[in-house]
Amino acid sequence: MEGLKIESKLPNVGTTIFTVMSALATEYKAINLSQGFPDFQMPEELVRLTCNALQQGFNQYSPMAGWMPLRESIAAKIHDLYGVNVNPDTEITITPGGTYGIYTAFTTVLRASDEVIVFEPAYDSYIPNIEVNGGIAVRIPLEFPTYRINWDEVRARITPRTRMIALNSPHNPTGSILRDDDIEQLRQIVQEYDLLIMSDEVYEHLIYDGEPHRSILRYPDLRERAFVNFSFGKVYHCTGWKMGYCIAPPAFMAEFRKVHQFNCFSCFTPAQVALAEFLKDREAYRGISNFYQQKRDYFAKLMQQTRFKPLPSYGSYFQLYYFDHLSDLSDKDFSIWLTKEHSVACIPVSAFYQEATDNGVVRFCFAKKEETLERAVERLVKV
Ligand code: GLN
């Protein structure tokens, strides 16, 4: 039957590459190093605390902004890590995942034709989030192959309509991170042009080689302009929980909550009760970067047996590899071919560009058990 049609608000958007590649991996029984999620169990203690919360009857709505003891634990953790005070009452909201927090931040701020600076490759939700709110994404490529920001280009692309700048460190998909000189440039630019910041910090603890995470929360002049988004799923190995939080100054957060309260209202209570307790143990988060650095290094060492050539990964779940000396296929076709013919799934980096920029690199997720990485590399050596 020819049903009624609606005019698409996102005419150029298809199904996200993560869903596409994970489905292909399942279909071809491939080892899935595409979508970013761990294949190992989350901390047993967190499982236990969650079961307890369920049994003890914490099963009704939590407050709209989130379970207060959890917000207090987050504030304590931020003080411990970044040496700053965040008010749990007015500056923290628990969200159903990092992506939701990012979406809500854009929805809170953007009006028709407002421009947002987005660096490509960009996590694939940002631009649709901006456009569905009537905003315009001003896309600036990160410099290849360092994937660093060209701040002169940022200055050149600012207009009277520029409202926000979207940042992501550690960066998905490239594993690049913001450095001190980036922060310095950012400070000057947001001040000079009066810009707001959306900072995606879902990989905050996944940063390697002793580098500090330069959270926007550390810098008072940046923090006062920013919505900073975090994820529990990414850092405590429970991406299926879809739990995270947003931190913003009180006046921003009041507006954020106006949007949030009529969208999901509040998040899964048992997980909030459990996380409130779990986060009191500093070891719960202080060991994460070391844990993932070992995974990155283990995967990199195994991959030396293959003909793929690595780009550096300074953070996140991901490492990029050049394949263009191995194949003439586009990165998308190569990823599909690899999944079908060699039973290892990866993500083409061009999927993170609006106008598919193909630099001959693909993204592998190393947030996997050692045996999974070993089995994947046994297959990749044949390429
Ligand atoms: N952030 C994950 C990744 O980059 C995907 C999350 C999702 O599929 N929505 O792989």
What is the reported pLDDT for 131? 98
Ligand 1 atom nearest the C-alpha of 125 is: 9
Residues 75, 165 share a domain:
yes
* Nearest atom, ligand 1, residue 99 CA: 9
- Residue-number span of the structural domain to which 375 is assigned: 17-42+287-380
Give the per-residue pLDDT at 200. 98
**Ligand 1 pocket residue status of 35, Cβ below 6 Å:** yes
- Which residue has a Cα nearest atom 2 of ligand 1? 36
Q: Residue 373's pLDDT is what?
A: 98
Q: Are residues 359 and 257 in the same domain?
A: no
The string of pLDDT tens digits covering residues 325-364 is 999 999 999 999 999 999 999 999 999 999 979 999 999 9
Which residues pair with residue 207 across a beta bridge? 315
| CATH code (residue 262) | 3.40.640.10
Strands (E), the chain: 31-32, 92-95, 115-120, 136-141, 162-168, 196-200, 226-231, 244-247, 309-310, 318-322, 344-345, 347-348, 361-365
- Same-domain status, 292 and 266: no
User: pLDDT confidence of 2, banded at 50, 70, 90?
Assistant: confident
Pair (226, 355) in one structural domain:
no
**Residue 10 domain-assigned (yes or no):** no
Closest residue by Cα to residue 347 from 316, 314, 381 = 316
Dihedrals φ, ψ of 148, to 5°?
Answer: -105, 160
pLDDT of res. 169: 98
Co-location of 259 and 348 in the same domain = no
Domain's final residue, options 249, 267, 285? 285
What's the pTM? 0.97
Residue ranges of the alpha helices (H) in 228-330? 232-235, 250-260, 269-278, 283-286, 288-303
Contact in structure between 37 and 172 (CB atoms under 8 Å): no
User: Which residue CA neighbors atom 1 of ligand 1 most closely?
Assistant: 36
Residue 137: strand pairing partners: 116
On whether both 279 and 306 belong to a single domain, the answer is: no
The answer to whether position 4 is within a domain reads no
**The pLDDT of residue 284:** 87
Same domain, 278 and 305: no
Residue 172 Cβ contacting ligand 1 at under 6 Å: yes
Q: How many residues does the chain have?
A: 383
Look at residues 255, 285, 315 and tell me which one is the last residue of a structural domain.
Answer: 285
On whether both 266 and 292 belong to a single domain, the answer is: no
Per-residue pLDDT tens digits for 45-81: 999 999 999 999 999 999 999 999 999 999 999 999 9
Best residue among 13, 16, 17, 18 to mutate for probing ligand 1's pocket (most ligand atoms within 8 Å of CB) is 18
Q: How many domains does the chain have?
A: 2
In ligand 1, the atom with minimum distance to the C-alpha of 98 is: 1
In a domain, 9, yes or no: no
